[in-house]
Amino acid sequence: MRCQSCGVVYTLDPPSEEQMCRYDKLNLKLKLGDSPTGLTSRLYYHVRSRMLRKKARIVESQAYRTSGSLLNYGAKTGFFSHKMERRGWKVTSVEKYHEERLFSLEMFHHRMIDVPDMALLQAGTFDVITMWHVFEHSHHPNELLDRFYELLRPGGILVMACPNIRSTDAMHYGPYWAAYDVPRHLWHFNPNSITGLAYRHGFTLMHHEKMPYDSFYISILSERHLRHRMAFLRGMLQGLRSWRISITKRGRSSSLVYVFRKRQETE
């Protein structure tokens, strides 16, 4: 469904937060870093390593600093949190699933907090807050943005990555586009709708850029949804087409990283 006033697309009658857990568990094995099997899984692990470096560069270039305090919300298994800690950042990670918090503790010796524990964090604590493909899962997006506004220091930045429903691959695959990921994705944004939502909660868009590999991964999964033969090859070709279009038309990228700055009350 699409909101006529703000343009945000949302999943109608989604499962409750408690019911959603069983859908998320289906993806837990891949996220926990088991040995990759199959072409798609091997592609995922290779890309993850490259994207960790890119994400770190985005944060540091847009925050104009190479160290500081960072809140990583929806930290999953902690790979990005660990990356930023090694680069000198003081990182607080929030993750709702115990299995992933335990993995981070055992793999990286990085202790995460559960979502309810965010209430204990002091206002004005963080220079940067990050969410990597997490915001579209939130049952309470407005409350979450308000909390982030409180937690950021003056001039702090919010960095989030989300799928783009205006992308070339979204339009090509229609209802079979894998990044709709219903019912796990509750919200489906385009650049205008997510920028407008963030603005209403005190944030101004400073920068956005494409996530270069998502069009390939999402296209491969979409081909599998369609049960096409040679899904990997067909997905790679469509991903290449989408990627080439996004070179000159960034708003057609499969996923986008948005960097929002916390506005001051006088602005």
Q: What 3-state DSSP class applies to 54? A: helix
Structure tokens at 262: 């916390």
Residue located via tokens 């989604």: 14
Helix (H, G, I), strand (E, B), or coil: what is residue 8?
coil
* Domain total in the chain: 1
Per the structure, the complete domain to which residue 217 belongs is given by: 16-262
Evaluate whether residue 3 is within a structural domain.
Answer: no
pLDDT digits (tens, 9 = 90+) for 1-35: 998 888 889 999 999 988 887 777 655 554 544 44
What pLDDT, on the 0 to 100 scale, is given for residue 40?
62
Question: Which structure tokens are listed for 94?
Answer: 């929030």
Q: What is the value of pTM for the model shown?
A: 0.92
Tens-place pLDDT, residues 178-216: 999 999 999 999 999 999 999 999 999 999 999 999 999
Please, are residues 201 and 194 in contact by the beta-carbon 8 Å criterion? no
The whole-angstrom separation of Cα 59 and Cα 182 is: 29
**pLDDT beneath 70, residues of the chain:** 25-41, 266-267
Position 173 scores a pLDDT of 98
Q: Is residue 9 part of a domain?
A: no
User: Would you say residue 8 lies in a domain?
Assistant: no
Pairing of strands 126-132, 152-163: parallel
At residue 142, the pLDDT reads 96
CA distance 152 to 123: 7
**Within a domain: 7:** no
Q: What is the pLDDT at residue 37?
A: 58
CATH number of 147's domain:
3.40.50.150
Establish if 214 belongs to a structural domain.
Answer: yes
Q: Is residue 197 part of a domain?
A: yes
